[in-house]
């Protein structure tokens, strides 16, 4: 399994974001939690965790959905069309509509632009994708070997015209492809070559979970695999959620599957349907499978509202798993949004792992890191500061507020 990780994600003109926004997973020179960093052979260090805070409707979810838009744009056609995957009958892949910033006429008519730096195997890749509505305007992929300075072009695309670099020309790649889909997806579906597998590995191995979606909670029961019962049970018991395993059986008339959770009480075994467990237990069971898979193999897990239905101590436990190099041996990364500031502490996060999203001028969202904030005296925020209290006092911006009660009519 190739180790794949995100280095930097930049985008503009996506939903509430009009101007360029950048989420960097490269560690700054700050000397804190250095042992938790993901170290690469070329001496570069990357963050295992990034947490995004801010008021409701500030842009937290849109940031994570922008990242998932790029990931799923490449991965979804591969899952549906690859000969190695059974695609649902009659389902044809297409680009999901990309929503631009709608609060000015210029942005609404312009394409949305994404740029992603990621590492896989022995290379660092740069992937760009420009989309207008559901049409691909341009696309490109470059890579360089870790430790080297020279960057090689794999392909560049404008509309339906593709120019291949020397490496891909050796594959005798067919000139015809479906221009409504990413060219990287086309390569992955049609060519079983190491360069293509490596280039696509981050997209295919990443996971996006949105706990604002009721659909996800209903789907969790269909995702659980009985073979994972020992590991999932061990994970839940480590956070004092008392289950003793689970089993899976097919639902009548082929309607998916049903999960039964076992509880051993006073020497006797009892079972409850997963749907009868608490919302927190249901979420943990579904989440555990994805987290444990990432920690075992590497990869990026993106979770919107990770704190929803989780006790703050459980949230802290999950975060620290990714920051423990004895547990996270394969460079897994966790990127999430949260409203729970109880974990926004200097004994949990580095300053460059804390991010804020909020709306600014013209109702456009902005994104910034705690590592970039300066105090009134010009110094950076101290690594020993009470991050949670300073955030709630408004010193970092992005602080939630309520309209004055007398303005409510």
Q: Which CATH architecture has domain 4-206+299-392?
A: 3-Layer(aba) Sandwich (3.40)
Least confident of 168-182, 252-266, 343-357: 168-182
Mean pLDDT (whole number) for 216-220: 67
Whether residue 309 contacts residue 211, with contact meaning beta carbons closer than 8 Å, is answered with yes
The pLDDT score that the predictor gives to residue 403 is: 43
Domain residue ranges in the chain: 4-206+299-392, 219-281
- Tokens representing 197? 């597998």
Looking at per-residue confidence, does 106 or 409 come out higher? Answer: 106
- Tokens representing 12? 């503009």
Q: How confident is the model at residue 84 (pLDDT cuts 50, 70, 90)?
A: very low
Phi-psi region of 238 (alpha: psi -120 to 50; beta: other; left: phi over 0): alpha
User: What does each C-alpha distance from 357 to 21, 55, 268 come to in angstroms?
Assistant: 10, 8, 50
Helix (H) or strand (E) holding 391: helix 387-392
Does 63 score more than 70 pLDDT? yes
The pLDDT score that the predictor gives to residue 282 is: 87
- Tokens representing 206? 């990443």
- Tokens representing 22? 């950048």
Helix (H) or strand (E) holding 120: strand 112-120
State CA 180 to chain mean position distance.
24
Whether residue 167 contacts residue 154, with contact meaning beta carbons closer than 8 Å, is answered with yes
List residues bridging with 333 in a β-sheet: 300
Collapsing DSSP to helix, strand or coil, 224 comes out as coil
Q: How confident is the model at residue 261 (pLDDT cuts 50, 70, 90)?
A: very high
Mean pLDDT (whole number) for 130-157: 97
- Tokens representing 162? 């593709």
Does 174 score more than 80 pLDDT? no
- Tokens representing 256? 């998916």
Distance of alpha carbon 342 from alpha carbon 310, whole angstroms: 12
User: What does each C-alpha distance from 182 to 63, 130, 156, 321, 405 come to in angstroms?
Assistant: 21, 10, 11, 35, 49
What confidence tens digit (pLDDT) does each residue in 336-386 have? 999 999 999 999 999 999 999 999 999 999 999 999 999 989 999 999 999
What confidence tens digit (pLDDT) does each residue in 281-310 have? 888 888 898 999 999 999 999 999 999 888
Q: Give the chain's length.
A: 409
Across all residues in the chain, what is the average pLDDT? 90
Does 325 score more than 80 pLDDT? yes
Distance of alpha carbon 370 from alpha carbon 348, whole angstroms: 14
List residues bridging with 227 in a β-sheet: none
State CA 161 to chain mean position distance.
30
The pLDDT score that the predictor gives to residue 196 is: 95
pTM metric for this prediction: 0.93
Whether residue 333 contacts residue 6, with contact meaning beta carbons closer than 8 Å, is answered with yes
Mean pLDDT (whole number) for 387-396: 94
The pLDDT score that the predictor gives to residue 172 is: 66
């Amino acid at each position: 399994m190739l180790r794949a990780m995100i280095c930097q994600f930049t985008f503009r003109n996506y939903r509430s974001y009009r101007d360029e926004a950048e989420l960097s997973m490269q560690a700054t020179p700050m000397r804190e939690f250095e042992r938790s960093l993901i170290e690469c052979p070329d001496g570069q260090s990357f963050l295992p965790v990034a947490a995004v805070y801010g008021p409701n409707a500030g842009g937290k979810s849109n940031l994570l959905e922008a990242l998932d838009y790029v990931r799923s744009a490449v991965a979804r056609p591969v899952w549906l069309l690859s000969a190695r995957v059974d695609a649902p009958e009659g389902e044809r892949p297409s680009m999901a509509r990309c929503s631009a910033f709608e609060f000015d006429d210029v942005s609404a008519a312009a394409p949305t632009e994404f740029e992603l730096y990621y590492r896989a195997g022995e290379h660092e890749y740069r992937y760009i994708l420009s989309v207008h509505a559901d049409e691909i305007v341009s696309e490109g992929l470059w890579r360089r070997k870790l430790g080297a300075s020279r960057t090689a072009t794999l392909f560049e695309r404008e509309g339906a015209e593709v120019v291949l670099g020397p490496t891909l020309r050796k594959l005798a790649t067919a000139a015809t492809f479906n221009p409504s889909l990413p060219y990287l997806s086309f390569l992955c579906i049609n060519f079983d070559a190491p360069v293509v597998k490596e280039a696509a590995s981050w997209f295919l191995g990443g996971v996006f979970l949105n706990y604002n979606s009721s659909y996800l909670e209903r789907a969790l029961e269909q995702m659980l695999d009985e073979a994972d019962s020992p590991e999932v049970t061990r994970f839940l018991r480590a956070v004092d959620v008392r289950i003793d395993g689970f089993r899976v059986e097919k639902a009548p008339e082929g309607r998916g599957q049903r999960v039964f959770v076992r509880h051993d009480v006073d020497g006797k075994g009892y079972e409850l349907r997963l749907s009868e467990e608490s919302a927190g237990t249901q979420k943990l069971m579904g989440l555990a499978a994805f987290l444990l898979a990432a920690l075992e193999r590497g990869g990026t897990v993106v979770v919107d509202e990770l704190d929803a239905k989780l006790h703050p101590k459980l949230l802290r436990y999950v975060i620290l798993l990714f920051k423990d190099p004895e547990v996270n041996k394969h460079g897994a990364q966790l990127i999430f949004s949260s409203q729970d500031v109880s974990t926004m502490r200097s004994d949990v996060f580095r300053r460059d792992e804390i991010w804020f999203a909020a709306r600014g001028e013209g109702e456009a969202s902005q994104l910034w890191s705690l590592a970039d904030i300066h105090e009134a005296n010009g110094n950076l925020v101290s690594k020993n500061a009470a991050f949670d209290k300073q955030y709630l006092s408004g010193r970092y911006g992005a602080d939630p507020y309520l309209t004055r009660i007398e303005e409510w009519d």
